Each structure stands twice: as structure tokens, then as C-alpha cells.
Amino acid sequence: MRGMVAYIIRRLLLMIPLLLGVTLIVFFSIHLIPGDPVMYMLRGRMPSREVIERMRAELGLNLPLHEQYFRYLSGLLRGDWGTSLRTRAPVLQEILSRYPNTIVLAVAAMFISVVVGVIAGIISAVKRYSLFDYLSMAGALFGVSMPSFWLGLMLILIFAVQLRLLPVSGYKSPEAIILPAITLGTGGAGVLARLTRSSMLEVLGQDYVRTARAKGLAERIVIYRHALKNALIPVLTMAGMQFGFLLGGAVIVEMIFAWPGIGRLAVMSIYAHDIPVVQGCTLFFTAIFILTNLAVDILYAYIDPRIRYR
């Protein structure tokens, strides 16, 4: 137990420089472009000199760069993530109001990925070279190769436009999540199916599985009690990483289905040159991604004790 606590503390400490590095990149992203960041943010508009000066003062652009960064960092810690140029609302408020929608979508997609991917992978490995194996692996390849934005449109075309079974977009009715979740979860299901299959096949070839079979145990017990537990360790890691990719992928899916999440907010902010919101969304998504990876690593160390002693 002490080893586990030490491992968690070490991982949490390692997270701090990583998060600082992310804030550095996000902060300096706007300073990397040549010219005045304010003029860039106001691109397409004709502001008066007073407006430009006021914005420069508000953003602290008249301060030296390192002071600007520390101001930005202390603002982040105090919950002041800047103000949206488009709505004049605080950036953090804009993000937090949409955050639950993105999480709901990502969790629903994750559920589809894990259930479909892992079950298909297990059956494929157990029934290796069967028709099911070929079909599910072909399906997995399709899932991995299919652009989510195209799959989303095709699902809309079939289930919303032609069959009129599900809504085209929106989020008010519970069934509105079905199409976006399938769109977002399909790629992950393909990845997990392939990984589960190869991991299961590797485990099924191990000596302890052969011993279990030699003892005369029923095949079901060999597969579910002996093989599956070990085969799922790399799958768990990948599933955790998938969650981060789902957050990234949600950007496009939220746009297709007009799902009011952070991804849609980020893209709409890019259209409007609302850089503070784009920076805020990127930072928020990345922090969630890092935290998710940390949670997966801790879970991984809990399942496989060799990890925490490394």
C-alpha cells in the first residue's frame, strides 16, 4: 500500500512541470505570431486607437513577457482565464457551462468503444480464423480508417434524413446522443477490438493457460478467469488513452451534430478569432487528458504491482 501511495505522489509531482509546460505553449502561442497580438485578435474589425490601447492594458501586453506569463499563470490559478472577445463573458465560465455536455458525449462514446471493441476482440481471439474473426477484424479496420466526420454525415443521412428514426442534431432529447456517440466511438471500438484480439492471443499462448487447460478446467473458466484478466491490462491503458483522443475527436463530432460542448466552442472561437477562448479550451482539454492518463496509470499500477516498483 505504501508503495502505491509513493507512486501516486511521484506521478502527481511529475504532473506539475508537464502542466506548466502546457501553459507555456498555450500562452506563447499568441506571442509567436509576428506583429501585435491585439491587432491579430481584432482581425477583420476596425477598432479605434482607444479600444486597442484598452485591450493592450487589459491583456497586460504592455508588461515584459515574463511578467505577462506569471500574470497569466496566477490568473489561471485564481480561476481568471481571461475574457471572451466575442461574448465578453469569462472564459472559464464559458468552458464550464459546456463541459458537462462534452463529458456526457465522451463517456457515451467510450462505453460503445469498450463494450463493442473488447467483446469483439475476445470472441475473435477465442474463435481465431473463424468467419466472425474475419468479419470483426474487417469491421475494426473499417472503424479505424473511417473519418468520423464522414461516418457522422452518413448516419445522419440514413437514420435521420431517410428513416427519420433519430434527430439530426441538438441535445435536448435523450436519443439525440445516439448518433454522435456512435460516430465518436466507432474508431475507438476498432482500435480496442484489434488490441484485445492480439493481447488475448498472446496470453492464450502462455504456459499458465496451457497448465490451466492441462488441469482439465472448463474452457470458459480458462478464458474468463485466467486469460482475460491479464489480456485486459494493455487494453485498459489504451482505453484510458482513447478517452483523451475522444475529447480531441469530439471537436469535429460536436460541430457535425451541433452538440453544445467545448469542442464546438473551440471551433466557433477560432472562426471568431477569439484567441482567449481557444487557449482556454486547449488548456482545459489538455489538463483533463493529463489527469485521465494519470488515473489510468494509477489503475494500471494497482492491477499490475510490477509497475509501481519500477
Partner 1 sequence: MPAPFKVDLKGRLAEASSTWRRFKRNKGAIVGLAIFLGVVFCAIFADFIAPNDPYTHDPDNALSPPSWKYPLGTDEYGRCIFSRIIYGSRISLLVGVVSVGIAAVVGVVIGLIAGYCGGIVDSVIMRIMDILLAFPGILLALLIVSVLGRNLVNCMVAVGIWNIPVYARLVRGMVLSIKETEYVLAAKALGLNDLRILFKHILPNCMAPIIVLSTLLMPGAILAAAGLSFLGLGAQPPTPEWGRMLSEGREFLATAWWIATFPGIAIFVTVMGLNLLGDGLRDALDPRLKVGRV
Give min distance, CB of 244 to partner 1, in A.
4
Output 4 or 25, the one with its CB closest to partner 1: 25
Output 5 or 258, the one with its CB closest to partner 1: 258
Which residues, at least 6 apart from 28, have a Cβ–Cβ distance to it below 8 Å?
Answer: 69
Q: Give the total residue count for the chain.
A: 310
Burial class (CB within 10 angstroms; exposed 0-12, middle 13-18, buried 19+) of 298:
middle
Give min distance, CB of 213 to partner 1, in A.
25
Output 212 or 284, the one with its CB closest to partner 1: 284
Task: Report the SS3 class of residue 247.
Answer: helix
Determine contact, residues 16/10, Cβ cutoff 8 Å.
Answer: no
Output 217 or 307, the one with its CB closest to partner 1: 307
Residues in the site for partner 1, rule: CB under 8 A?
A: 17-18, 21-22, 24-26, 29-30, 32-33, 141-142, 144-150, 153-154, 156-157, 161, 191, 194-195, 198, 238, 244-245, 247-249, 251-252, 255-256, 266-267, 269-271, 273, 275, 278-279, 281-282, 285-286, 288-290
Give min distance, CB of 269 to partner 1, in A.
8
Output 15 or 299, the one with its CB closest to partner 1: 15
Instruction: Output the nine-digit C-alpha cell for 303.
Output: 492491477
Instruction: Output the nine-digit C-alpha cell for 108.
Output: 457515451
Which residues, at least 6 apart from 36, have a Cβ–Cβ distance to it below 8 Å?
Answer: 52, 61
Give min distance, CB of 150 to partner 1, in A.
3
Determine contact, residues 114/187, Cβ cutoff 8 Å.
Answer: no
**Phi and psi at residue 220, to the nearest 5°:** -60, -40
Give min distance, CB of 138 to partner 1, in A.
10
